[in-house]
Chains A and B, each alone.
Chain A
């Protein structure tokens, strides 16, 4: 066990609020957990030394942090500042059928029902998910009533000041036939450490459109998770855009808990400098007739390291499942690393599952083609890199977000050193 985890466990024990039963359970599991090493499969390529050495501490009452403006986006804005919900104008302005509340402010009955869902979608195997269970001091609960379609996206930003440690937790519930868009994003000033976990319960025929922008870079440490539970005929479409940092790790779990559910996940990451980004994407097909389509693309420059683990698990009863994973990686430098592991674990015979993974350089023919038209090699490389990612940006259902992220990504490519 590491000193960091020991101190986390000690701090978790101080608290005795409405989350206490869940916290106690998490602490019990944590006490029995071995601190991961290189030999721990889930952390094989992502050493935890930066967390062991982190000097980040909880910071209270920090003001002056504002979420990044997204041009043209008309969203319902929620912001965590150093882990505390900044609940300025949450009250009456919400559209009908949408409620956003802090768990601690609910009635005991409501709290009891929230506890029924809390930490049931997020699998217990995630070490930092347990840390979050233990250290989070409140839960933001977002719910959409039956058959209500919310047009305005709900944006949940997490803002971190220099050296801050933060633990945030959101529980999103879409009742039957509901529709919602959620945007998660982060801004951090450096040397921060955050755990950020969101659980989504998507009832029959509900539809979730989801975005996670993990754009923190530099010395920030980030560990988080997005966990989705899909019931009968539920649908989700998730887009993840990530840059790397000294340590940035995201675990996604898509659980087909009902029949005929449909999940799409498009993830892209662009790493530069000495950054690391590690995406562990798990799909559990527990019920029949589900479909999953995952596209993961990654570009790694300089001394950066990219890790991807894409697991598709088809349970015995999940007949007629269609699941596909496509993972493509571009390695731009001889100091960079790509470690990718697409996995299939299949226990049903009448399914169609496939995965493909490639690691390569930029397509030389395309590079030549651009050059024959007079485009310089450097510019052509930027264009091709961008094009590789742009294919996934084109798939983003929300055009405002696509238009917002495109120039940000283009700018990042323009700065990347290519060989």
Chain B
């Protein structure tokens, strides 16, 4: 039985992309304030999990349930999920030329405040907040005027994702391979940003292939995702174990060599 104290409860989730099943019985429980790391080999379904939770078109839930803060997540539109507190930091954030970063951030914050029944923030106040967030993630203020992610480097895109997180103050953040393509300095900036947002009422799911990121963002739990479900869970030490062993041991089916041998 799921614990009603959970922020997020994923139960026996099966999901497909283009008729190919990727998630095959995923279970996960996340309590407020916890940081969970999801690791696993390429093709295990790590990114799919984030897309399915956020309701991306083309990702079909075949069965199972997902509850966020007591609400059935799967029943909602993508934007409703965001307003319910779900934030997905993308591995490859899309570029939107012509739509300025500031306009985009304001529209997002407005939509979420409205959904929560809060008053709209004035443009002047928002600009102040946005500038502060910009500074915090080490992006020049001029980036607010540029098109969303347009011509940003890989690192700048990741920091822009982080800035959005700072402004939107979500309950659950899914970081999808946020470390990919980052050098060590950029990685530290991102990690510091994330760590500064850790609090007792905010949880994180850190999806990563490498243990490196977890040196900076210490997880409470580490899960290994393989072939669409979690096959092993443990504490932070599991990540080190994986780093040492790789993922080969996950090969549960005997290989052809073994069969012949």
Question: Which residue numbers of A lie inside 8 Å of B, CB to CB?
Answer: 363-366, 368-377, 379-380, 383-384, 386-391, 394
Q: A368-B56, A383-B103 are in contact. Are A373 and B82 (CB under 8 A)?
A: yes
**6 more A-B contacts (CB under 8 A) besides A375-B79, A383-B104, A383-B107?**
A369-B93, A371-B82, A372-B54, A373-B168, A374-B82, A374-B108
B37-63 Cβ-contact flags toward A at 8 Å (1 or 0):
000000000000000001111000000
Q: Is the CB of B99 within 8 A of A387?
A: yes
A383 to B115, CA, bound (A): 19
B115: chain A residues at CB < 8 Å are 374
**Shortest Cβ distance from residue B155 to the other chain A in the assembled complex, whole angstroms:** 18
Known pairs A368-B56, A369-B90; A375 contacts B108 (CB<8 A) = yes
SS class, residues of chain A in contact with chain B: helix
Query: Which residues on B are within 8 Å of A, measured CB to CB?
Result: 54-57, 77-79, 81-83, 86-88, 90, 93-94, 96-99, 103-104, 107-108, 111-112, 115, 147-148, 164, 168
Report A404 CB to chain B, min CB distance, Å.
18
Check if B83 sits within 8 Å of A374, measured CB to CB. Answer: yes
Q: Is the CB of B99 within 8 A of A390?
A: yes
A327 to chain B, nearest CB (A): 16
Which residues on the A side are within 8 Å of B86 (C-beta)?
A: 372
B96 with A369: CB separation less than 8 A = yes
Tally of A-B residue pairs with Cβ under 8 A? Answer: 80
- In the assembled complex, the Cα of A215 lies from the Cα of B3 at a distance in Å of 60
Contact A387 B94 (CB under 8 A): no
Q: Smallest CB-CB separation from B85: which chain A residue?
A: A374
Q: Given A373-B108, A374-B108, A387-B147, are A394 and B168 neighbors across the interface (CB < 8 Å)? A: no
Which residues of chain B are within 8 angstroms of A380 by Cβ–Cβ distance? 79
**Interchain CB contact under 8 A, B104 and A374:** no
Complex Cα spacing A394 to B146, Å: 11
> Which of A365, A370, A380, A394: most chain B Cβ within 10 A?
A370
Once bound together, how far apart are the Cα atoms of A391 and B164, in whole Å?
22
Interface contact A374-B168, CB-CB below 8 Å: yes
CB neighbours of B79 from chain A (8 A): 371-377, 380
Contact of A389 among B82, B83, B87, B98 (CB under 8 A): B98
Check A386/B99 contact, CB under 8 A, given A368-B57, A371-B79, A372-B82. Answer: yes
